[in-house]
C-alpha cells in the first residue's frame, strides 16, 4: 500500500475525530490517517483550565470566525470560536460534561426512523468510554448511578475523565439556595436523562488539568499503533469524488494542503468528515456537494445537489445578566490586585485548585421558562465574575453573572461558502431570535432570573441588576434587549443533519453516510437533526455509527462492553504475518512521520518498548534524530545508510546525497533544507540566504549540518533496530 493510501481517512482531530481514530485503529489490519488543520495541543494554555481565556481569539488555537450581521441581534456580529488544534473544541471549550436530555435522543429516533438512536440504546455508548470520578470507589455508589455512568471498574474503556470541580464560591452556593427557594430542585447529576435541577457542573478534567480528547483517545494509545498516522497543520482542501463503472459516485480521497504543497491522500474504504458543524459543510460545498445554486454562484462544478448541506444551523444563545453584590468575594476583586493574582497562581501551582482550575461556568441550573413548558427548556451558567465579553478584562466591582439560554431554539441558520477557496472563511448566519417562540422564551427567561435573585438566600449580598437594568419590563423590551446583550455559547449543530429517506433536507442517512456519495460519512455535531438540551460536547460522543448489520459500512465506534467490533465491509485480504520489508516500512513510518511518537518513547523506556516492538525481521542500520535547540519538539529525521541501501531508499522514499544520509523530504523542507534536482543537499536556507552544509560527527555517523547553525544542533537520541525490539536511549 502506498505511503499516502489508507483504509480510513478522518478529517478533523477534534471531539469526534479523536474517538474515531481510537476505535478504527484498534484493528491493526486497517491503516488510519488523521488530518488536522491545527497544530498539536502543546500550547500550555490549552491544559490549564482557565486558559480558555487565552485560547479563544488566539490564531494558535482558534479559527477566528465571526458571524454575519444578525437581524435578531439588532445587526450585531459575534465572535464564533472553533477549535483549531488537536482536540478541536475540547481543547478550548468550557469543559462541562453534559449529555442532554433523554427526549433529545428519542426525538432523533423519530426524525430518522432509526430506534437505535433512542436514549436507552445510546446510554451504553456513553458508559463505555466514560471514567466518572464517583466510580473510583464503586462500592460507595448506588446501582442506579452505575446504570447511568461508567468507568473501567464497570467494564468500560474509561478514556473520557469526568471530575467534580475543585473549588466552590459562597455567592454561587447562595444562588443555588435561591434557585431552590424559587422552585428548582437540587441535583448532583445532570446526566441521568432529565437534567432539571441546580448544582455544580461536572467537568472534563483530570487532577486539575483540562482533559481534552487528544489526551483521552489519541495519546498514548494511537501514537503507539504503527497503523495510525497523523498529519497536523494540514488542511483538507477538497474531497476527491469519482464516478464508478455503475454510474454511482464514490469519495476516494482528499487533497490536503500541508503548508508547502498539495498532497493527495487516498482511502480504500471510507473518508470520514469530523471537522465540525462549520468546517464539514464548508468542505462538502467546496467539493461540489451542496445546494446547486450556491455552488454555481462560486464557480464550483456540482457533483451532487444536496440542499441541506450548510442549512439547519442551530445554536444556544445566552443572555447575560450581571448583578453587583456586596460582602462576598468574587473573582473580580480577587484578580484585581497583585496579591490576589499571586494567591491564585500559588494555589494552582501547589494544589491544582482555585480559580485557575475553574471552568468558565461553575454552577448550572435547568428549569422551565414558564409553567406551560412541558420540560426544562432553559439552562443557566452562573459565574462568580463579570465582564463585557470573553477576552475583555474583568469589572472592577464585585459581581456575578447569571447567563440563561434557550435549550431548544426554533430559529435556523446556515453555513455557506463565500468563495471557491478553501482558505476563506465561510459565511456563518445563525439567525438568532428569528421566531416569535424564541423571542418569547428570551423575555420569559429574564423574568425567571430576576425571580431567583429576588429570593432571601441572596438578599444578604444585596444584589443589584447592573446589566441589562430593571427598567426593561415588557416582552418587547426584553426581546429587543436580548438582541443587544446576548451572545453564543458555541454549540453549533445540525448543518449536515441525518434524516429519513423522504426528507429533502437530510444530508445523511441514520448511519451518517452522505446521501448519493459512497465511501463518505460525516461524524460530528453537524449530524444532529436537533440540538441537545445542554452543552453539546458530550453529545458528540454518543452512538456514532451503526453497530453492525447489513447497513453498516464502518464498525461500531463505541461498542458496549462484551460486543466485538467488526467491519461489515471488510478490508482487502491481507497476510496475517507481515514480511520483513513490511515491518520495516511500518516502523520507519512510525519514526519518520510521527515525531511525537519518538518524543513519547524517549520519556519512558517501557512505553517506548510497547509502542515500537516488532518481531521476525532485522535491519542493519541506525536511525538518528537531531533537533535544533530552542525548537520544541521539532525533529529532523535522518536515516543513516548502512547495509541494504536500496531497502532504506525504498522504505523512506528518499534519495541519497553526498553525505550518505537519507532524509524525509517533508521534514527536510520543515528544516529549511535546500535540495537539488538529483536529491543532493545544496544547503540550508535562512530567509533569503543559502548557507552551505558541512559534515558533523554524530555518534560516529556522518550527517549534514548547516554551517551557520552547527553550534545549535545536537543529536538527542539514537535508536537501534534489533530483531525483537526497538530501544531508544537518551544521550
> Closest Cα to residue 485, out of 449, 523, 538?
449
d(CA 8, CA 228): 10
Q: Which residues pair with 76 in a beta bridge?
A: 70
Burial class (CB in 10 A: 0-12, 13-18, 19+), 23: buried
DSSP-assigned states of every residue in 150-166: --GGGTS---EEEEE-S
- Cβ neighbours of 106 (radius 10 Å): 18
d(CA 108, CA 635): 47
Q: How far apart are the first and last CA of the chain?
A: 35
Predicted local confidence at residue 644, as pLDDT: 31
d(CA 81, CA 166): 26
> Closest Cα to residue 543, out of 534, 554, 533?
554
E runs forming strands in 376-532: 378-383, 399-406, 414-416, 427-429, 464-467, 487-488, 520-522
Which of 129, 149, 395, 491 is an active site residue?
Answer: 491
* Chain centre distance of CA 683: 39
- Supply angle C-alpha 399, 405, 407, rounded to 5: 150
Could you tell me the mean pLDDT of each successive run of 10 residues in the chain, 731 residues long? 86 96 95 97 95 92 97 95 97 96 97 97 95 91 92 91 94 98 96 95 96 95 94 97 96 95 96 98 98 98 98 96 96 88 93 92 96 96 87 87 97 98 97 96 95 97 92 86 90 97 96 98 97 78 39 37 34 34 39 41 33 29 30 28 31 32 37 58 64 45 41 31 26 21
CB 186 within 8 A of CB 199: yes
3-state secondary structure of 470: coil
> Closest Cα to residue 88, out of 10, 23, 31?
10
> Closest Cα to residue 602, out of 703, 718, 712?
718
CB 184 within 8 A of CB 197: yes
**Rg (the chain; Cα; Å):** 27
Predicted local confidence at residue 566, as pLDDT: 33
d(CA 75, CA 183): 36
Tell me, yes or no, if 44 is annotated catalytic.
Answer: no
> Closest Cα to residue 599, out of 223, 226, 86?
223
> Closest Cα to residue 491, out of 419, 413, 546?
413
Cell digits of residue 664: 524525509
For 331, the enclosing helix (H) or strand (E) is: helix 331-334
d(CA 513, CA 271): 10
Predicted local confidence at residue 180, as pLDDT: 98
Predicted local confidence at residue 336, as pLDDT: 83
DSSP-assigned states of every residue in 211-235: --HIIIIITTTGGG-TTEEEETT-E
Cell digits of residue 152: 473501567
Alpha carbon of 387 to those of 208, 371, 551: distances in Å?
24, 32, 50
What is the sign of the dihedral through the CA atoms of 134, 137, 138 and 140?
negative
Residues in the chain: 731
Amino acid at each position: 500500500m502506498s505511503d499516502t493510501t489508507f483504509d480510513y481517512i478522518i478529517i478533523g482531530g477534534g471531539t469526534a475525530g479523536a474517538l474515531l481514530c481510537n476505535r478504527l485503529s484498534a484493528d491493526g489490519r486497517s491503516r488510519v490517517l488523521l488530518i488536522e488543520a491545527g497544530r498539536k495541543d502543546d500550547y500550555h494554555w490549552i491544559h490549564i483550565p482557565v486558559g480558555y481565556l487565552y485560547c479563544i481569539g488566539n490564531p494558535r488555537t482558534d479559527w477566528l470566525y465571526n458571524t454575519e450581521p444578525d437581524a435578531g441581534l439588532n445587526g450585531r456580529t459575534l465572535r464564533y470560536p472553533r477549535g483549531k488544534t488537536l482536540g478541536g473544541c475540547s481543547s478550548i471549550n468550557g469543559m462541562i460534561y453534559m449529555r442532554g436530555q433523554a427526549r433529545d435522543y428519542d426525538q432523533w429516533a423519530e426524525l430518522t426512523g432509526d430506534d437505535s438512536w433512542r436514549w436507552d440504546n445510546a446510554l451504553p455508548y456513553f458508559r463505555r468510554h466514560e471514567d466518572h470520578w464517583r466510580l473510583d470507589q464503586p462500592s460507595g455508589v448506588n446501582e442506579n448511578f452505575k446504570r447511568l455512568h461508567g468507568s473501567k471498574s464497570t467494564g468500560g474503556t474509561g478514556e473520557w475523565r469526568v471530575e467534580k470541580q475543585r473549588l466552590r464560591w459562597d455567592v454561587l452556593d447562595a444562588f443555588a439556595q435561591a434557585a431552590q427557594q424559587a422552585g428548582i430542585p437540587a441535583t448532583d447529576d445532570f446526566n441521568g436523562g432529565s437534567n432539571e435541577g441546580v448544582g455544580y457542573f461536572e467537568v472534563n478534567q483530570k487532577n486539575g488539568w483540562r482533559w481534552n480528547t487528544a489526551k483521552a483517545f489519541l495519546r498514548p494509545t494511537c501514537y503507539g499503533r504503527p497503523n495510525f498516522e497523523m498529519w497536523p497543520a494540514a488542511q483538507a482542501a477538497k474531497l476527491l469524488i469519482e464516478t464508478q463503472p455503475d454510474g454511482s459516485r464514490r469519495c476516494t480521497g482528499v487533497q490536503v494542503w500541508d503548508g508547502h504543497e498539495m498532497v493527495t491522500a487516498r482511502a480504500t474504504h471510507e473518508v470520514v468528515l469530523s471537522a465540525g458543524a462549520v468546517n464539514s459543510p464548508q468542505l462538502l460545498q467546496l467539493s461540489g456537494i451542496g445546494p446547486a445554486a450556491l455552488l454555481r454562484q462560486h464557480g464550483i462544478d456540482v457533483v451532487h445537489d444536496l440542499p441541506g448541506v450548510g442549512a439547519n444551523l442551530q445554536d444556544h444563545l445566552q443572555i447575560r445578566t450581571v448583578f453587583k453584590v456586596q460582602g462576598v468575594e468574587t473573582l473580580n476583586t480577587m484578580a484585581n490586585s497583585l496579591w490576589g493574582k499571586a494567591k491564585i497562581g500559588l494555589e494552582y501551582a501547589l494544589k491544582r485548585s482555585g480559580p485557575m482550575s475553574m471552568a468558565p461556568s461553575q454552577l448550572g441550573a435547568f428549569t422551565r421558562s414558564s409553567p406551560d413548558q412541558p420540560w426544562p427548556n432553559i439552562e443557566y451558567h452562573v459565574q462568580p465574575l463579570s465582564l463585557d465579553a470573553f477576552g475583555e478584562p474583568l469589572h472592577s466591582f464585585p459581581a456575578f453573572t447569571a447567563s440563561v439560554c434557550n435549550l431548544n431554539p426554533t430559529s435556523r441558520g446556515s453555513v455557506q461558502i463565500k468563495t471557491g477557496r478553501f482558505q476563506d472563511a465561510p459565511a456563518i448566519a445563525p439567525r438568532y431570535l428569528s421566531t416569535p417562540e424564541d423571542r418569547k422564551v428570551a423575555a420569559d427567561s429574564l423574568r425567571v432570573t430576576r425571580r431567583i435573585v429576588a429570593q432571601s438566600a441572596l438578599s444578604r449580598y444585596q444584589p443589584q441588576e447592573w446589566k441589562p437594568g430593571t427598567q426593561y419590563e415588557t416582552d418587547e423590551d426584553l426581546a429587543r434587549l436580548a438582541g443587544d446583550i446576548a451572545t453564543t455559547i458555541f454549540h453549533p449543530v445540525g448543518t449536515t443533519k441525518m434524516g429519513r429517506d423522504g426528507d429533502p433536507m437530510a444530508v445523511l442517512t441514520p448511519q451518517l453516510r452522505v446521501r448519493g456519495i459512497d465511501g463518505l460519512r460525516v461524524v460530528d455535531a453537524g449530524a444532529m437533526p436537533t440540538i441537545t438540551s445542554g452543552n453539546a460536547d458530550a453529545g458528540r460522543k454518543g452512538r456514532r455509527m451503526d453497530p453492525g448489520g447489513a447497513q453498516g459500512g464502518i464498525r461500531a465506534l463505541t461498542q458496549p462492553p462484551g460486543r466485538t467490533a467488526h467491519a461489515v465491509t471488510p478490508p482487502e485480504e491481507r497476510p496475517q504475518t507481515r514480511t520483513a520489508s513490511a515491518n520495516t516500512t511500518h516502523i520507519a513510518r512510525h519514526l519518520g512521520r510521527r515525531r511525537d511518537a519518538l518524543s513519547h518513547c524517549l520519556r519512558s523506556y517501557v512505553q517506548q518498548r510497547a509502542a515500537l516492538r516488532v518481531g521476525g525481521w532485522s535491519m542493519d542500520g541506525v536511525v538518528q534524530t537531531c533537533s535544533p535547540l530552542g525548537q520544541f519538539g521539532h525533529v529532523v529525521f535522518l536515516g543513516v545508510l548502512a547495509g541494504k541501501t536500496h531497502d532504506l531508499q525504498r522504505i523512506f522514499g528518499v534519495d541519497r546525497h553526498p553525505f550518505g544520509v537519507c532524509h524525509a523530504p517533508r521534514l527536510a523542507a520543515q528544516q529549511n533544507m535546500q535540495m537539488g534536482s538529483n536529491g543532493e543537499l545544496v544547503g540550508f536556507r535562512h530567509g533569503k540566504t543559502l548557507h552551505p552544509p558541512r559534515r558533523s560527527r554524530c555518534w560516529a555517523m556522518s550527517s549534514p549540518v548547516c554551517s551557520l547553525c552547527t553550534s545549535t544542533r545536537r543529536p538527542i537520541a539514537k535508536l537501534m533496530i534489533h530483531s525483537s525490539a526497538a530501544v531508544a536511549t537518551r544521550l
